[in-house]
Amino acid sequence: MITPVEVITRTRDKQALTEAELRSFILGIGDGSVEHNQAAAWLMAVRLNGLSKQETVWLTQAMIDSGEVVDLSSVDGVPVDKHSTGGVGDTTTLILAPLVAAGGGKVAKMSGRGLGHTGGTLDKMEAAGLRVDLSSEEFLHQVADIGVAVISQTAKLVPADGVLYSLRDVTATIDSVPLIASSVMSKKLACGAQAILLDVKYGDGAFMPDLDSARELAKLMVEIGNGLGRRVMAALSSMDQPLGAAIGNALEFHEAIEVITGRKKNTALERVSCQLASRLLYLSGVCATLDDAEKKVSELLSSGAAAEKLKQLIEAQSGDPRIVDNPDLLPQAPVVHQVLAKEAGYLKSLAARQLGIAGLKLGAGRLRKSDPIDPSVGLVLKKRVGDKVEVGDVLCDIHAANQESAKLAEAEVLKSVTLSEKAVEPPAEVSEWVE
């Protein structure tokens, strides 16, 4: 049996590991027999030297095998899942999950919480009063019954990744593509989905800085999923400006309701959500062609079937389905402060990361997983990149707990805005698809 030191040495010296060697090391991280300082040393070796595609597949499978795996074999059809690499104003799950379920798909999704400038689906759901800590039995029953469940991941899934993820954060190894890919895919695959759609963000508000790096990550994750017997597709989508107008948990749920009920049409959020939903229906086999899937999604929105499925999801997870018809029942901040344009021009940029930080300063996000959040606060953008701006136009509404925090957020909002004298093209929404 190879020792942890030997594994570290071989990766340090750019020597390939066998599946058995890598598996032994990763399972040891999961059960505690490999020390954290040894795991940290190996992470730095990987960060500097990389892993082969085959080693990355083996790493992913070993992380899956370090804990429990959700068994979705009792669910009729092909269970599907979607994962985003994180963004600002990205509320697609709350739209596409009911959409896909209304179309006959089975959405079995385990999501995460927001951290830093990025939002988390679970926080948005809890802001609307939904329960996210369903048991495995409740989770399976709900997927079988109404076709969709969105819950928190249990600590028993991929424990080795939990250790490695925490160490990556403090060892400057978080930007390693093989480590990112195996971390994301191990969690998705352990959740039991047979078809997975990845939304890989790039740009100002995303983890991947540009399209090329996002493409590299997407291709590797697709190859991992395919190598482990799943159908996987990835979208490469821009995060140079927030996807939706709302930033903040209850506000983002409100916007998702506006989109799924048709009260807010032809927005970037609607277009991207529909593209993702169509791909999921196609990947799952519910629709034979992508054209069929796109037509079906359009019909589900216009008929109200998707909105009704959202009501079912809310009720099943102990929320109040009346919020779909009356989103004003959602938590509301006591202060609404308008940010006005101080000069005229065309909106050239809305820095997503800066706007995410504004939300963070209002209390909509957290720096540590244990930090509390205020579900009611956030921002609602009134202008998008490419829009013409006149002096005095409202750039955004700040929803705050008090005037002091609103003023702090306003300073961040103004930092995010750049104007141009000439007309500007908005950034691409989805640039490419990787299969």
Active site residues: 83, 161, 168, 183, 187
How far apart CA 411 and CA 407 sit, in angstroms, is: 7
Phi, psi angles (nearest 5°) of residue 106: -120, 105
Q: How far is CA 15 from the centre of its chain?
A: 34
pLDDT tens digits for the chain (435 residues)? 899 999 999 999 999 999 999 999 999 999 999 999 999 999 999 999 999 999 999 999 999 999 999 899 889 999 999 999 888 989 999 999 999 999 999 999 988 776 666 778 999 999 999 999 998 889 999 999 999 999 887 778 899 998 998 899 789 998 899 999 999 999 889 988 999 999 999 998 888 899 999 999 999 999 999 999 999 999 999 999 999 999 999 999 999 999 999 999 999 999 999 999 999 999 999 999 999 999 999 999 999 999 999 999 999 999 999 999 999 999 999 999 999 999 999 999 999 999 999 998 899 887 776 778 899 999 999 999 999 999 999 999 999 999 999 999 999 999 999 999 999 999 889 999 999
pTM of the model: 0.92
- Domains contained in the chain, CATH given: 4-65 (1.20.970.10), 79-324 (3.40.1030.10), 331-420 (3.90.1170.30)
To which H or E segment does residue 247 belong?
Answer: strand 246-247
Four-residue CA torsion sign, 102, 105, 108, 110: negative
SS (H, E, C) 30-69: HHCCCCHHHHHHHHHHHHHHCCCHHHHHHHHHHHHHCCEC
